Amino acid sequence: MGSALESPPSVRGARLRAAYRRIPPPARLPLGLLLLFMVAFASTVLPLFLLGTTDRAEIAGMQSSTGVVGQVTTIDLGVDNVGDTLISPICVGALFDMPVQVQKVTFQGLDSVPLRDGRACGGALSGQETISVVITLVPQQAGTAHVRLVATKGSKELGPAVVRTLDVSTR
């Protein structure tokens, strides 16, 4: 059985019908539209203020590449800030399933940094901005290398990882 504070459904329905009847008929439509607007506002805009912002970035624009064993090759990609906050420093995580020697990672043609522990960090990424990143490497073995790339802030992944291929020939 319910507690003394709860009303049976029939009593609650009767109270709602009585409250509805007290509203003058010409005011029912404007009040209904106002209520609809308030519900729509609360369900779409209000969460934006309450949830806060989070860092989100994705690897964008990278195509599969080709290279030659022992020769310098580059992988061009973009990092897209799909959030609205500044990400500083922006990092790129890169894992290869074949031996390669990564010489440097260049952000926006300005910051050239080494790849350490599968990650290179340089520069900042403003909200809704896309920057270019170039990975300069020397393949050590022929075959198809799979490259797992992900945008990170330190060790925290900011978006989905993508896997691309690097076809390496002997000449």
CA 144 → CA 8, 118, 151, 154, distances in Å? 69, 19, 23, 29
pLDDT for 51: 56
Cα gap 26→30, rounded to integer Å: 8
pLDDT for 42: 81
Q: What is the tens place of the pLDDT at every residue in 104-118?
A: 999 988 889 999 999
Q: What is the tens place of the pLDDT at every residue in 33-78?
A: 998 998 888 888 766 666 555 788 899 877 778 899 999 999 999 9
Range 57-169: architecture per CATH: Sandwich (2.60)
For tokens 């992988």, name the residue. 75
Find the length of the chain. 171
The residue ranking higher by pLDDT, 73 or 19, is 73
pLDDT for 49: 64
pLDDT for 52: 55
With helix as H, strand as E and coil as C, how does the chain read?
Answer: CCCCCCCCHHHHHHHHHHHHHHCCHHHHHHHHHHHHHHHHHHHHCHHHHHHCCCCCEEEECCCCEEEECCCCEEEEEEEEECCCCCECCCEEEEEECCCEEEEEEEECCCEEECCECCEEECCCECCCCEEEEEEEEEECCCEEEEEEEEEEECCEECCCCEEEEEEEECC
Per-residue pLDDT for 165 more than 60?
Answer: yes
The tokens for 68 are 């030659």
Per-residue pLDDT for 2 more than 80?
Answer: no
Per-residue pLDDT for 32 more than 60?
Answer: yes
What are the residue boundaries of the structural domains of the chain, listed by start?
9-51, 57-169
Label residue 6 by pLDDT band (50, 70, 90): low
Q: What is the tens place of the pLDDT at every residue in 93-145?
A: 999 999 999 999 999 888 899 999 999 998 888 888 899 999 999 999 999 99
This prediction has a pTM of 0.68
pLDDT for 115: 92
